[in-house]
Amino acid sequence: METTRKTSSTNLLDGRRSSGPGQILKGMTLEELQAWCIDRGQTRFRGLQLFEWMYRHQVTNPDTMTNISGEFRGYLREHCIFNTLELLKVTQSDTGTTQKLLLTTADDLHLETVSMLEKNRHTVCLSSQIGCNVDCDFCATGSMGFLRNLSVGEIIDQLIAAYQLTDVPVTNIVFMGMGEPFLNYDRVMTAADIFHHRQGFDLGATRITISTSGILPGIQRFIREKRRYKLAVSLNATTEAVRSKIMPVSHTWSIEKIFSELREYQSDSQRKIMFEYILMQDINDSPEDAVRLINMIKDFDCKLNIIPYNETDGRYRRPDEEVIEKFLEILYRRRGNIQILVRWSKGQDIAAACGQLAVRSS
Ligand code: SAH
Ligand code: SF4
């Protein structure tokens, strides 16, 4: 049974959202904050202080920014906005270790973030967009359509909300919530850079995973820019025909095109790739699929993440346990050096598992 609690807007993300007048500081980079401070007659150093207060200390109230002069704190209080989201509701899974946060933006759109605690890891699954227009046939987010991209501040405030809720520092970030990160490339990368920044959240680059459905221009840009974050590609099928049927994006960028880009990426960077494969009954769960899957990826230095499908509207189903076992057995027998992880989704009882995130805007 799930437990739900309503929260007031002030206990977690105290302060205002970005409605009304005011400069939104959340989401600004160090360079932007420095320039902004100089424009207001402050020193460059003031920009670093603000950066540290907002991201390293995750403070939302200027009054607590003790190394900033009282006068400038007054200015910040009067003219600036440090929050972009409000926490509306928290839903907790049976085990209590997975929580789904329902957040609302200044323009009253809703989005979801998932916090997962496991031993000494706190993984937060972030949304990059409200809705998604990639329109994968099996995905609850896809069925909402696309409303808008999230801002850098809104991406960052999801993490801060998850931290403030649990009081456990975040150790891993996955862009596997609502939306396609590579269709909001600039903002997602700016947020990731702030998460990674020494004076920001100081998270290692490999603790940040960006999952894409296969947006080739985004993958190419990620490679060209030598981004050090982990790249995950949602494969979900072993033939072009099946993939195109369930993921329309495949009509534009085929598996073959994506793989040839990834091969080059690995020969240059030697970075591991993660492939995600959701297992759906009678779609991609046959023994032949298992063999094809291993053959397709065996030349990559990669991890394979198998996700038994989380049912949403009943059109697609999770395969029976024996079918999943058989599929995994074939994979394990042939896996070579490939590390295989099975993601029995946490939080399925609260629809907080992959692909179950979908909210209505108010
Ligand atoms: N848009 C990106 C990231 C968000 S989706 C992408 O598609 O990769 C994150 C992962 O959830 C993807 O691997 C996607 O295939 C998977 N997914 C979507 N719907 C799902 C469902 N109902 N059950 C299990 N996984 C799902
Ligand atoms: Fe968008 Fe990813 Fe869902 Fe596809 S699986 S509709 S890309 S969120």
Tens of pLDDT along 154-168? 999 999 999 999 999
The model's pTM is 0.93
pLDDT of 13 over the 90 cut: no
Average pLDDT estimate for 120-149: 94
Q: What's the confidence (pLDDT) of residue 353?
A: 60
Residue 142's pLDDT band, with cuts at 50, 70 and 90, is confident
CA distance 206 to 204: 5
Please provide the average confidence, as pLDDT, over all residues in the chain: 91
Give the Å distance between the CA of 149 and the centre of ligand 2.
Answer: 14
Closest ligand to 127 CA?
Answer: 1
pLDDT of 358 over the 80 cut: no
pLDDT of 96 over the 90 cut: no
Give the Å distance between the CA of 25 and the centre of ligand 2.
Answer: 30
Q: Which of 14-23, 106-115, 228-237 has the lowest mean pLDDT?
A: 14-23
Q: Which of 20-24, 109-113, 223-227, 234-238 has the lowest mean pLDDT?
A: 20-24
Tens of pLDDT along 183-239? 999 999 999 999 999 999 999 999 999 999 999 999 999 999 999 999 999 999 999
Ligand 2, atom 6, lies closest to the CA of 142
Active site includes 354?
yes
CA distance 285 to 229: 30
Active site includes 261?
no
Q: 322-332 burial, b for 16+ CB within 10 Å, e for fewer?
A: ebbebbbebbe
pLDDT of 15 over the 50 cut: no
Tens of pLDDT along 317-353? 999 999 999 999 999 999 999 999 998 766 666 565 6
Ligand 1, atom 26, lies closest to the CA of 355
C-alpha torsion sign, points 31, 35, 36, 40:
positive
Residues with CB under 6 A from ligand 1: 138-139, 176, 180, 211-213, 234, 236, 276, 278, 307, 309-310, 312, 354-356
Average pLDDT estimate for 127-137: 96
Residue 93's pLDDT band, with cuts at 50, 70 and 90, is confident
Give the Å distance between the CA of 142 and the centre of ligand 2.
Answer: 5
CA distance 151 to 27: 7
